[in-house]
Amino acid sequence: MEPGPERGCEANPPAGEPVLGRAIRQTPGSLRPHLVRLHAGPDERTGEGGETAGGLRDDGSWRGTGLREKLALAASESIFIGIVRLHRRVTDEPLQAEDVRKVYRGRIGPHVEALRGVSLSIRRGERLSLLGRNGAGKTTFLRIASTLLLPTSGRIHVFGFDVVDEPERVRPLIAVVPQEGKPFFHLTPREQVYCYLRARGIAREIARARTEEALEKMGLLEVADRLSVTLSGGQKQRAMVATVMATEAPLMFLDEPTIGLDPFARRAVWDVLRELTRKGSTVLLTTHYLDEAEALSERLYIVEEGRILFEGTAADAKRQIGGTLRVSIENGGPVRDLFRSFGQTVEEGTALSVITGPERIHEIMDIALRNRLSATVGPVTLEEAFLTIVGRSIDEE
């Protein structure tokens, strides 16, 4: 079923083909795939850059005919030219943040420092996670990076553009799933995805195809024509994720995208994010799910009280705490001193974990047996690494 009326999404066709062609040829080669895909449109049957109806050769010239027809389905000339000019300055770094600080100044009560000098960078085509407890500053950073909030100090550049000074140039390059965002209640999931793509200037035929693909991958085809107000919380969240993923934007921000999703839906989101980065998009997500950060992220930043405490891979985080094996001892807290010499110790509830190497396992087990304590051995987890780096559990408020 095709989407219904476009409700004002259609833009006027551009008038100056020579101007557009010249501007497109000046676009950096590395950004042409995104430019063609988002604004002139690849052929969905071949998967190539508009080969059947006019596309870009490697040298920047146009191949075939039908440029005017393709562009007539995209955004207006002024928007299109703005996007082309925007791409001229794009750097290889999707995002660079330098000493970003944010202080919320309330009229009543103390000021709140949400970010305290955050610096980070993301490589093209990377999946990166901001991992931290609720209130650590993850959402504040994403809101600043997506031009929705002004920093108190510091700079963030998205593809070379300053998010404070040039927000209008940043926004066409990004797509955002906000924390606990909701689809338009008066639209169906199919209309939600399709109209958002059309509003971004994506051609009608391509928008239709991407809409159906996104709905299928998010398991929403059965409810695609129901008003969003009638959907469950998990279905609404999947509709939001589908809307943003369908854009294939060069940089995507996802703030806790799998909250409220069942395990199967979470895995579907992970699979789609992996596919998008293989196609060249870059993904920055926030999460407090340790398994999600470990399974999905090529690198992660651990954030606590507005500061970056760790940067690297999940494996790096585990190595940093000084061992490869974990011995969990039930009710081991009272005899913690007996195990201090074997490595890092972490208490969580009634259990005591000792992080150590394989050569010390037999000594630890002997002490546990002599004290009639139950002990198990397993690999170090990201949870132990987080506890050691941050000093408290990720679920602790």
169, 5 Cβ separation under 8 angstroms: no
Q: Of 88, 114, 142, at which residue does a domain stop?
A: 88
Both 262 and 149 in one domain: the answer is yes
Both 166 and 264 in one domain: the answer is yes
**Considering the chain, what is the average pLDDT of its residues?**
80
Please give the residue range of the domain that contains residue 38.
17-88
User: Would you say residue 273 lies in a domain?
Assistant: yes
Give me the pLDDT at residue 397, please. 62
Q: What is the pTM of this model?
A: 0.73
User: Would you say residue 79 lies in a domain?
Assistant: yes
Q: Of 88, 105, 134, at which residue does a domain stop?
A: 88
| Domain count of the fold of the chain | 3
Q: Residue 337: which residues within 8 A CB-CB, separation 6 or more?
A: none
Percent of the chain with pLDDT over 90: 51
Both 59 and 126 in one domain: the answer is no
User: Would you say residue 317 lies in a domain?
Assistant: no
Helix ranges (DSSP H) in the chain? 17-25, 32-35, 67-72, 77-88, 138-145, 167-170, 189-199, 204-217, 233-245, 263-278, 290-296, 314-320, 361-370, 382-390
Q: What is the mean pLDDT of residues 359-386?
A: 88
In this structure, what are the phi and psi dihedrals at residue 194, rounded to the nearest 5 degrees? -65, -50
| Buried residues in 145-183 as b, exposed as e (16+ CB within 10 A) | bbbebebeebebbbbbbebeebeebbbbbbbbbbeebeb
Domain CATH for 187: 3.40.50.300
Helix count and strand count (H, E) for the chain: 14, 16
Closest CA to 294 of 311, 281, 313: 313
Both 196 and 294 in one domain: the answer is yes
pLDDT per residue as tens digits for the range 38-57: 333 343 333 444 333 344 44
User: Would you say residue 11 lies in a domain?
Assistant: no
Both 52 and 147 in one domain: the answer is no
Give me the pLDDT at residue 380, please. 85
Both 219 and 171 in one domain: the answer is yes
DSSP β-ladder status, 282-287 and 127-131? parallel
User: Would you say residue 388 lies in a domain?
Assistant: no
Both 158 and 198 in one domain: the answer is yes
Q: Of 281, 312, 343, at which residue does a domain stop?
A: 312
User: Would you say residue 215 lies in a domain?
Assistant: yes
- Residue at token pair 């074997």: 342
Closest CA to 251 of 218, 217, 275, 285: 285
Both 277 and 374 in one domain: the answer is no
Both 265 and 327 in one domain: the answer is no
CA dihedral 34, 36, 42, 48 (to 10 degrees): -70
Both 53 and 188 in one domain: the answer is no
Q: Residue 341: which residues within 8 A CB-CB, separation 6 or more?
A: none
Q: Residue 173: which residues within 8 A CB-CB, separation 6 or more?
A: 86, 90, 158, 159, 161, 249, 250, 251
Give me the pLDDT at residue 22, please. 42
Both 123 and 221 in one domain: the answer is yes
User: Would you say residue 389 lies in a domain?
Assistant: no
User: Would you say residue 395 lies in a domain?
Assistant: no
Both 113 and 179 in one domain: the answer is yes
Provide the residue type at 139 as one letter: T
**Structure-block tokens of residue 288:** 């407090």
pLDDT over threshold 60, residue 69 = no
pLDDT per residue as tens digits for the range 205-261: 999 999 999 999 999 999 999 999 999 999 999 999 999 999 999 999 999 999 889
